[in-house]
Amino acid sequence: MDSTTSTITEAYSMDSAANTSIESYTMDSAASTITETYSIDSIADTLAKAYSIIEEGGQPLASETTCIQYIFLSPSHIEAFHNNELYLEYIQNLVKERFNVSFPEEKSAFDQYFSDCIQLKEQLESHENFDKTVWLSYTTSLLESLKTPYYSVYSFTLLTLESCFTDPQLFDKVQKSFYSVLIKSSEKKQSIIRKIIEHAPVYKKYSYIKENLLSDILINTLALFGDEKEYWLASFINLFENNNAVHSLPKNTSNKEWNTPSLLMTFFEWEELFLKNRASKDFSSFSEYLSSRTLYFYKHAGTTSDNLLKNATSNASVTSAGTSASIDSAILSNIENAYVDSEFLNTFAYNMTTRLYHANPAIGRDQEISDLELILISPKKSPLLIGEAGVGKTSVVEGLAYRLQRGTVPDLLKNKKIFKLTTTSLLSGTKYVGEMEDRIKKLAGELEAHPDVILFIDEIHTIVGAGSTESSNNDISNMLKPYIDRGDIKIIGATTREEYTRFLLPDKALTRRFYPISIEEPDEELTLSILSGSIPSIEYETKVKNTFSANTTERILRTLISISMPENQPDDQPAKRPELPLTLLEMAFSYAALSGKTALSCEYIEQAVHHSNRLRKEIRTNFTCAL
């Protein structure tokens, strides 16, 4: 080893034994259990090579370079690969593509991206001829989509479709078809696309559905339900007009169009009946499949459509996020109606009201949400959430979105939508004088055109000075002041006390337009409730279940809260509750998911603590999950 490798070895080693080995993740599969052991020397050598790749790539001060170095270069990332050379090629590809894409601002986004890349690698490796070039091209596509509103649907599409096809050309053909529709789709249509993809594996249980036929079925279903224009659905519904049951299909009362998600679920049920009752199991062509299916629908409409169409609403328990859950139909209707037809807002901001919340995201914050509602109702004032980083300012806004979905808000706030905007996304791509001003005017115009939209600006202090030049101090804050002052637009801001004092207070004209709401750090008992209430959402995101008893779960959560105390954190990285214990909990589930497990265990809780750079070294090293 050279001196760099030696230094890394010493830093990584938890004791003085030079030959200590580290057992990597164990992944269960139907075929076998793969266990790979890495020596510290091997990890150190790979890390040294990865750092060299970053150094050779140049631009050391670029935020993208720093991001790759500190997020992707770690022993746990190397272990997850089980292939040091492929890991290095992955890092090389990240360095090559780093300036061609927009990086997100949340670490959780990168963690999800890395997890998706590893899962896709493992799926592709299960086939006989693993092509690393193909895999790297897909990791690049994922990276390009990482900061887009459709990333989660695209990654889900890739991973699900790959499991349905062994023919790489058919897989590539289908995923490109879905991607071409996805990149120009609204949030409403993204939920439709996700439902189609989620249903794809169902066809695999029918042996006579060969892969070439499956590819045609999926693309055809996408063409029928995935376009923004739905006028041809009326012709499709005519298949069922042998009786009056079709009229029980739910409609969107605002525009009298058919409720497409419910109609799609009805279509899938009809198709299932067709496939189960197919007498001849062979289709000579996709045209024959379509012809047989159409005739079956028409022939059996009078005998089966009544029940199926009645269930169109009850079966909407398959939610807009693509998960089966017992969710009130009124909530689903509110989520669907929260869609805003604005290309500008959907491009530069994120509609928090269309997100499906699997649990209350703002446990114990009823008073803060009530204060938020009160200020939003009052004229010419906008609320400003002030609290230290990590205490849950964004969660309070999510809690309001949660209430909006359920209709448990004052009448004056019903039908409101919340869009989250960051200064970075608003300014991205503006290069020339006047571009920023035009974009701000466009934003204000869109908000005036959609008075039911409330804009949430996290880190709102960044609008002070953003976009100003040497010749003009006309920044974002100055351009928005007149609109806020007239009450034309409503904004929810969030910032820390330090940044409020430093950036906002000096601008008296700006601060008088906002009413501050203090968000305090939760105590240990409230933090316990927040962690416990977050588990259902984490289970859904990671597909890993918490199988511990209620008493054991409480002991685990209290342990995570205890080790997250300020005295156990590095002096330069203080974190408030509930951020750090919640991060440790999320990472424990993520490590289990990364290892291919479906249930949380002590092993992954320990991994989350051992690999956390938010805790002092002695705390990480000595931690054991003793239950």
> CA-to-CA distance for 566 and 187, rounded, in angstroms?
40
How far is Cα 294 from Cα 291, in angstroms, rounded to an integer?
Answer: 5
Average pLDDT over residues 509-517: 88
Q: What is the mean pLDDT of the chain?
A: 79
Round to whole Å and give the CA distance between 582 and 600: 15
In CATH, what number does 338-518 get?
A: 3.40.50.300
Q: Indicate whether 519 pLDDT > 90.
A: yes
**466/478 Cα distance (integer angstroms):** 10
Token couple for 360: 């209350």
pLDDT digits (tens, 9 = 90+) for 277-321: 765 556 777 888 887 887 777 676 544 444 433 333 333 333 333
Mean local confidence (pLDDT), 53-72: 89
Q: Which of 122-131, 174-183, 471-480 has the lowest mean pLDDT?
A: 471-480
Q: Which residue has the higher pLDDT, 12 or 581?
A: 581
Give the residue, 318 or 393, on which the prediction is more confident. Answer: 393
pLDDT band at 441 (very low <50, low <70, confident <90, very high): confident
Residues in a beta bridge with 252: 257
- Alpha-carbon Rg for the chain, nearest whole angstrom, is 26
Query: What is the residue type of 390?
Result: G
The pLDDT of residue 556 is above 90: yes
Do residues 531 and 561 touch, judged by C-beta distance below 8 A?
yes
**pTM of this structure:** 0.52
DSSP state of 520: P
At residue 300, the pLDDT reads 66
The band of 379, judged by pLDDT with boundaries at 50, 70 and 90, is confident
User: What gap in Å lies between CA 339 and CA 319, rounded to an integer?
Assistant: 15
CATH number corresponding to 524-622: 1.10.8
Q: What is the pLDDT of residue 322?
A: 33
Q: 121: exposed, middle or buried (C-beta count within 10 Å: 0-12, 13-18, 19+)?
A: buried
In terms of C-beta density within 10 A (0-12 exposed, 13-18 middle, 19 or more buried), how is residue 198 classed?
Answer: middle
Rounded Cα distance, 318 and 306, in Å: 20
DSSP secondary structure code for residue 545 in this structure: B
Contact 21, 75 (CB under 8 A): no
Residue 39: which pLDDT band, with cuts at 50, 70 and 90? low
Q: Work out the pLDDT band at 530, boundaries 50, 70, 90.
A: very high
Query: Which part of the chain has CATH 1.10.8?
Result: 524-622
Task: Determine the Cα–Cα distance for residues 288 and 297; give it in Å rounded to an integer.
Answer: 14
User: Could you give the CA distance from residue 87 to residue 77 in angstroms, rounded to a whole number?
Assistant: 8
User: What are 577-605's pLDDT values in tens digits?
Assistant: 999 999 999 999 999 988 888 999 999 99
Where in the chain is CATH 3.40.50.300? 338-518
Grade residue 237 by pLDDT with cuts at 50, 70 and 90: low
Separation of alpha carbons 478 and 481, rounded Å: 5
- Cα separation, 242 vs 437, whole angstroms: 58
Distance CA 216, CA 220 (A): 6
How far is C-alpha 17 from the geometric centre of its chain's CA atoms? 41
